[in-house]
Each structure stands twice: as structure tokens, then as C-alpha cells.
Structure 1
């Protein structure tokens, strides 16, 4: 059972009503199932929207932000708990440690970097937590198409591509993630073709 989800998302928000609805639906799903939000601690962009919505619904929000970003006054002051780290690496590790799973919302370079890092950790057997992409309006379609190219060129195993859940509906995504049961060792052995 997932008690917390780390949500990776952008520090910008383009005002897309479809994205806003997906964020609201995701927040509602999480609060209804008593799943706490772990996120990057920002008050701006998609980060601020998801944090505000979970708080509005009475949920629990833990932000994790490095001191240099807190100093720039982008830290959210209205959430349940804020963890301040000394650097970005410590931030990402802390977010991963606090979460029982990971969801990726639309974002930019930082969001993709966080996604691929935690996905690589899963591939290497460093954790056994589910990873889902909330693919709102086909935002990540080209990313998944690139993964198919990587499989076709034999730089990525199909079994590793399938470690990621790809859904446009938040409830369906969370339901699929709750069914994920691989242990870190099982993921690693599967990657090595040993099982």
C-alpha cells in the first residue's frame, strides 16, 4: 500500500485547463486514499498547483527544497512540512527516501532528470517502487516513442521500458502502480536475463 507519492513536475505552469483538471483529479485521488504528497517544495508552477490543491483538500504535503532555492523565496510557506537540504543531490535522495512511488507530471529538464534518475535506480535494483507518468494530453508521447527507438536499437531492454506506467487518467495510474510488486532484486535479475 502506498502511503506517499513523490510527484515530479515543473516550476512553470502553462495555464492548460486539461493539465489543471488532471492535477486536481490527482490531488483528489491521493487525498481520498490517504496518500501523502512529497514534492520539490516550490510555490510556483505545477509544483505550486499540486501542493495547493492537496492542501486545500486537507491532505498532507511534504516539500523538499535545497537552501539556495529557499533563499530565492520560491519555497512554499503554506504546506504541512518543509525539509531543507544542502544541495540538489541531497534533495533528490530525500524525496526518493520519503516516497513509496513516483509520478511524473509535465515539466522541463529538471522533471526529466528526476524521472530518469529514479527510473535508472529502479532498473539497477536500488529500489522497488512503482513509477508512473501522468501523460496529460499526450505530453510525453514522444518520450515513449523515443524509448521504443532505444528498444529497437537494443540500447534499452523492453522489460525495462515496461517498468514505467503510462496513463492519462490519475485514478487508473495510481491503481496500476498499487499493483506493482517487484522487489529491487527481481528487477535487477530480470534486467540481467537471469530469471
Structure 2
């Protein structure tokens, strides 16, 4: 019996905030499912798709992703503070609950990892929240950059602390300290 093939469409997005290095955006018929960071390659996207969407066919198609690219461009141009595109979040139930909580953090505001754990009625899950935050497959749109340490430190960030800081500044938020490990500097 043949399994149905899931079409996953992708395109690239570049912006000066990332020194014009490409982000890969991917979507299924249900919505945006993945955005890579500029430190990640097309191979990273392919590996993620193969793991998360078995029997998928990856197809480059700028037209299918045009609305996703437009909304990202509007965000970076300061013309959008919320996204209205459909999302196809792929992860565990706990991860999905964390990612859903991230979408509730308003533009220009932040929450701590413990704030998210408490919002999920699981105050001891601070580290698990951090792990789920780091595994967020749709950064920027699902704003993992809006989560900082309880002490207002930027803390670790898969996209790089300089990118996290740039995204927060883009949103007008500057009440943080530049502490934490500097992963993926470029």
C-alpha cells in the first residue's frame, strides 16, 4: 500500500538583519511549518522535513510561500506586529503547548521561561520550556526571541544572541542585559 506523499513547499527570505544570509521557509497545505536561521542550510531543512514529515516531497515554490514572505518582510520593515498566516506546528504535545504560549506574547514585550512554565500550570518545567523554546521550528513568527531570563538576561538563543537582540530592538524592547552564552555569533 502506497503512503500518500505530503508536499512541502519552500523558498528563501533574506534581510539585512541577517547580513543577507538566507532563511529557508517551508509550508504544507496546512500552513508554515519551518523557518531556518541563517546559520542553517538547505540540508538542515531537508533533514527536519524528513524527520517531522515522513514521505514528504520538498518542492521549491516562491508563489506558494509569497504571503509568508510578504508578512515577514512587513515585520522587518516595521509595518506588521502580528502574523496572520496559518501555522503547521510539528512537535510533541508539550512543545506545541509552549509554542502556543509564545504566540501569546505581545509584540515588544517579553516573558521569562518561568512565566511560560507558570502559564502552562507547570511551574517546575522551566528547563523543559527552555528546551521546547530552543526547538521552535517557526522562529520569528512564533516569537521565541521574546523569552528572556528571569533576571532580564538575553540567555542562549539558537539564532544567536545578536539576532535575538536585533529582533527585540526591532520591536522596541531594550530592557534586557547582555548576559548569557553567545552561541552562533556572526
Question: Same-fold call, TM > 0.5?
Answer: no
Could you say which structure has the greater relative contact order, defined with CA pairs below 8 angstroms and 6 or more residues apart?
1
TM-score by length of 2: 0.28
The TM-score with structure 1 as length reference comes to 0.28
